[in-house]
Structure 1
């Protein structure tokens, strides 16, 4: 090529170089201005020396380079941060201390009452009412409260102009039997692990503290179980509150030093509560304060670490070399196996890599847990139920003679089931194969005596043991009646032959894992089965075999009312409830289905007729029993808040007015129901489907012999309709408007004096 061409190329390169140099200078100047503007300033406005910037840069680089292990940063001792969710009290805010307790024998309840009184005197006795920061402490029984109101999120203040912040104190004995403590712990665990709920859902609390009561004679040390349930509650509260432990877990031996330990704990708690009222938060604490469990590593102080501070890394698994036990996916497995085959053929003769397919848990190995008995003979639960007249069979079943059985034996009236369905009350056995329930209904007076739970977690007794045991217990109680004045000889003789079984004593019968085998034993001796469930176990209900009559308790017409009156333990209680109604709808042409409505004044009577009509329309049961609640008193710890009073018991006129309104609503919807029978003596009325109205007369009674024939012919899964074992017409004296009292019997008052009709 010519020289002119190369000269032109050189001129072009020089021009390009000049342009690039100009751009570089411009970018360099811009970057320098940015650094200068962003550098820290002294009070005079001058930039800090470049030595400081260099030192800062080196420190950051060092921290990044050492990310594989604990970072060590030169500087001053780091101060512990306060709680992330510290609550600052406003001038109008008040502090409400809630004291929770559980008690089987009553000793913890007495201790909790004394503690609450002392705390109240200490917090409220030193300031005038106008300057009062603290509200009166409230004492709450764990068997009476709804967990969702207190242990999912803090309670909400009802007064908008005077906000309230809450502080929890929990006094808890530990039991090696199944109690409400187990349900509280299960609820806390579910709340923390529920992805729909914040893991620290109780972080809005000012703080909490737990005191455990135990007996070192039975459990000498903490490792052997001393106050173990209090420790568990303390741990879960730490997780749910986001590390808001305000005072250490206290523990006292009820046989030795519980008063001294409780006094120390009370003094410390009182001081902390007062401090929180002033500052609005728990203040500073060393790293690890409020953790759920104690750390295995001691915190390294500045003096022991040569002025350096250990900065904790996020809880992430460290990257280590893969071992033969760390197989991430199928590709890694194939790669390792290929490598092992190659190594097997290696001239060195090395053995192939062994692949371990065992799944290794990251958590420490826990000691095996023994399965508890539901009601051990040595437990306070057993003593309480026995005192109430129950005969405990095995470890989880019970039988009790009904008051209507006693009344029928003396010719003083039979149960409403005789008026409606032809059951001889003196030949009826009331029992349950499960004393446990998944509800804590407000009208149940056995709070704190029968256990509760959402799943079966106890020893399971065989059905034949239960069947033989409940029969023996029932006959023994019948024999005890032979010396009672007024017992009729012919009815006493008939009572020694059980013909009917009401599985409605207490608890949840379909909770028992072998309920179908137990039913088969009843039917094998031609004993009819009237099974009542609480509409909280749809899977067990769907698997249930044929029964003579299947009940579902309908205690409310809407979600909120059901939560208030039944106080179910299941989180999805309303969805479970509706699924059970759907199951009964599917079975209405295969067996007799019943909705049992228990009316509780002040809970589920007012303005709920339309809601009940919706439920009847959804389930379309054969019958609807409407009954006023029976007042049996309250538990000793229930009080006016937890239990019921006579004011909650509706008069019969109020029950009949409700029935007439419901009947009218069902007719307006064209659902085909009518008022079929009544039993005024037990405040109960029966609505029946028009399917059981033949020739203008109601046929609500049962042909029991025909039922057993159908069962023998077609088996427990056989297809038959309720009409096939429909009995004779309902007696005239039992129909609507005639009272429903058996004319063979004689009505008397509580003193045994005859009542004229």
Structure 2
């Protein structure tokens, strides 16, 4: 039959064919419907559904013995079987919650490694090495013997280490599917690897780590069961001077891929040693750190808080402000949060709280507490309250202030103190530079602890980073914690935060080890440290532990300042040169703020021969820069401090700062700061004052003016001899700042050299680096 014949046949019979198909479909549907109805009828004729024993137990009318009297035989059988298997029904009523369906919490459960008790954990160190000339093997075998002898004396839970050559093992046995540990045992990997510019077994090993991570058939973190890992690299700085140029590059790559495969279980920062200079000392320091970590794991059962998922440390110019770059938390859409009425602006202004401020604190007890009369400073008001008021905590653990400060990274000590590590500490740990205190005074940021014994302040400065979070007040009206509690708590919290950095990429092992010994304390975190009633006792505890003290006050408490004993360096914040500017910038609570300010400057003048004194000027465009150099010079002439620090304000970008009248337009450029410093230096010279520009730290936008008391033979000596300071202190005799004057200020820190330590690695933001490269390119074209 031809194609045209088929078409004609279809045209002739298509209608009957389609009707037949519809009829067949109707018959099938009818049959299915009848079957469904029959099934429903059969269900209704069956016995009633058996009730769950758990539900029966909740029936108020159910009594013991009702199971046997039930008219439903099926139900009696079910209950009888339940009683035989699970015990009497009535005895199971109290435990009925255990038989409920499993609750889904939305949190991924961690793998059970079969280790329940921390004290029962056994740690087995496994040392891997690679060597062509035999040097790395000798170091690895020496390390094995040292760990065996050292840990045998210190920790019985750390077993005798194993050692393997990467050339003779099957990678799948250790780095794809690690050896299955016995119950109560975890492996700890140590990798000692050199770096070569030729293809070696390390090249194959690195390729294997990459392939393992990217292989879709293998878990992305197959080594998550490890207790931890750490890497030490051997390099030669004659061939590769820096890490960017290839120094220990293969060790750094292995460390990075091991972090991925173990789900970031870097237990100790990577160690790097130059085989022609410091390899022995670096390896020894790394070994001590690794041993301490293994002991901690054997005791506590884990790497500790902050290691897993710690990620990169903050590198912005603001301490803890969310960045808006790609991948940051700020760039992601945020869910709307439920706001608490009337708390956004009044939270920090506790001095102004009263029963009519509309602050809803939740419970009746809290409302009663806030509505009680607030102690009043007699110097600013005639209204006094003679009724004794019970002392309460400055920052209770249940308060919004506590929540806000801890969210910002503070550790609250006791009821009114705090500690926090700044971004410069994180930067110094990674070899990316310390803050201006290192350039000016020789303080390494990773050896410095930032703390305050008082979170309260008597000012509400427009540039303060902690608007709405720290309390304010003019008198101490809270309970007082003893100084030894604050001291021990601050040290413990600081070291805990340092330990949280050991899993951060780029942290240097030797600096991490150094950071475990606190050498300096900056009493300038937030609030007013001199406000604490036992500040002298607290400073004495610092000095007894050989920790130097840098104390900053806001020039509003002359009585406390006058009674202050010797500190290593005493700061006073000079935020304006006249009464009106000071009122606008510092927004003080005292009505006689200017009189207090001037009196504090007079006290600084008296103390300048007993301790190093410093004026700290924070420049804010539109507030205290324009045409105020002469006024600042008058204030310097009044107090004659040893040093004058001039620093541009750091804008934190918060809405509270905007509400205070501060925007990015108020942040001066470094060129504007240096121009102001030169104008101030000229104004001081016209008054016959012996000052000069001694040092700078451009990255902090900070410049140091120093008294020529510290200019010896035409060279500045702004650094501090800390050992000499403690010797003078322990002698019991009076001494002057010149008695603990340190060595020469390094050339790179002096005026005109930028102030960045060349031993560190300067890291630029991408946009800033591109702009600088374009500038250098333009300069070269101009020279050509």
Separation of aligned partners in 2, 1:495 and 1:448: 32
Map 1:244-643 onto structure 2 (within 5 A).
369-636=389-656, 640-643=658-661
1:706/1:649 Cα in 2 relative to 1: closer, same or farther (>3 Å)? same
1:218 shift after superposition = 3.3
Q: Which residue of 1 aligns with 2:755?
A: 740
1:753 shift after superposition = 10
2:675 pairs with 641, 657, 668, which one? 657
1:464 shift after superposition = 0.5
Q: Secondary structure at the match of 2:368?
A: coil
1:635/1:398 Cα in 2 relative to 1: closer, same or farther (>3 Å)? farther
Q: Secondary structure at the match of 2:465?
A: coil
Q: Which residue of 2 aligns with 1:684?
A: 702
1:213/1:601 Cα in 2 relative to 1: closer, same or farther (>3 Å)? closer
Q: Secondary structure at the match of 2:541?
A: helix
Contact 1:625/1:685 (8 A) holds in 2 = yes
TM-score normalised by structure 2 residue count: 0.52
Cα deviations across residues 81-137 of structure 1 (Å, max 9, x unaligned)?
Answer: xxxxxxxxxxxxxxxxxxxxxxx9942249xxxxxxxxxxxxxxxxxxxxxxxxxxx
Separation of aligned partners in 2, 1:659 and 1:517: 37
1:635 shift after superposition = 4.3
What's the C-alpha RMSD, in Å, of the aligned pairs? 2.9
Q: Secondary structure at the match of 2:341?
A: helix
Contact 1:634/1:644 (8 A) holds in 2 = no
Separation of aligned partners in 2, 1:539 and 1:367: 25
Contact 1:634/1:643 (8 A) holds in 2 = no
1:182 shift after superposition = 3.6
Contact 1:633/1:644 (8 A) holds in 2 = no
Q: Which residue of 2 aligns with 1:218?
A: 364
Which consecutive unaligned segments of at least 5 residues does structure 2 have? Answer: 1-336, 376-380, 777-784
Contact 2:351/2:472 (8 A) holds in 1 = no
1:428/1:752 Cα in 2 relative to 1: closer, same or farther (>3 Å)? farther
1:729/1:752 Cα in 2 relative to 1: closer, same or farther (>3 Å)? farther
Separation of aligned partners in 2, 1:226 and 1:437: 21
Separation of aligned partners in 2, 1:671 and 1:366: 50
Separation of aligned partners in 2, 1:423 and 1:415: 8
1:183 pairs with 352, 361, 366, which one? 352
Contact 1:105/1:380 (8 A) holds in 2 = no
Contact 2:345/2:468 (8 A) holds in 1 = no
Contact 2:448/2:520 (8 A) holds in 1 = yes
1:142 shift after superposition = 5.8
Separation of aligned partners in 1, 2:386 and 2:435: 52
1:212/1:739 Cα in 2 relative to 1: closer, same or farther (>3 Å)? closer
Q: Which residue of 2 aligns with 1:107?
A: 340
Q: Which residue of 1 aligns with 2:371?
A: 228
TM-score normalised by structure 1 residue count: 0.54
Contact 2:342/2:359 (8 A) holds in 1 = no
1:384/1:214 Cα in 2 relative to 1: closer, same or farther (>3 Å)? closer
Separation of aligned partners in 2, 1:706 and 1:440: 38
Separation of aligned partners in 1, 2:357 and 2:682: 56
Separation of aligned partners in 2, 1:105 and 1:437: 29
Higher relative contact order (CA 8 A, sep 6+): 1
1:466 shift after superposition = 0.2
Separation of aligned partners in 2, 1:105 and 1:452: 26
Cα deviations across residues 374-405 of structure 1 (Å, max 9, x unaligned)?
Answer: 00000000000000000000000000001101
Contact 1:215/1:226 (8 A) holds in 2 = no
1:453/1:691 Cα in 2 relative to 1: closer, same or farther (>3 Å)? same
1:370 shift after superposition = 1.9
Which consecutive unaligned segments of at least 5 residues does structure 1 have? Answer: 1-103, 111-140, 144-177, 187-209, 234-238, 241-291, 293-362
Separation of aligned partners in 1, 2:572 and 2:340: 37
1:707 pairs with 725, 737, 740, which one? 725
Q: Secondary structure at the match of 1:469?
A: helix
Separation of aligned partners in 2, 1:502 and 1:570: 26
1:416/1:227 Cα in 2 relative to 1: closer, same or farther (>3 Å)? closer
Q: Secondary structure at the match of 2:364?
A: coil
1:232/1:392 Cα in 2 relative to 1: closer, same or farther (>3 Å)? closer
1:216/1:512 Cα in 2 relative to 1: closer, same or farther (>3 Å)? closer
1:751 shift after superposition = 5.8
Separation of aligned partners in 2, 1:722 and 1:731: 19
Is 1:728 aligned with 2:743?
yes
Contact 1:214/1:226 (8 A) holds in 2 = no
Equivalenced residues, count:
431
Separation of aligned partners in 2, 1:582 and 1:695: 30
Contact 1:535/1:553 (8 A) holds in 2 = yes
Contact 1:609/1:661 (8 A) holds in 2 = yes
1:700/1:369 Cα in 2 relative to 1: closer, same or farther (>3 Å)? same
Q: Secondary structure at the match of 1:225?
A: helix
1:696/1:367 Cα in 2 relative to 1: closer, same or farther (>3 Å)? closer
1:634 shift after superposition = 2.2
1:655 shift after superposition = 0.1
1:642 shift after superposition = 1.5
1:750 shift after superposition = 3.5
1:633 shift after superposition = 1.8
1:455/1:656 Cα in 2 relative to 1: closer, same or farther (>3 Å)? same
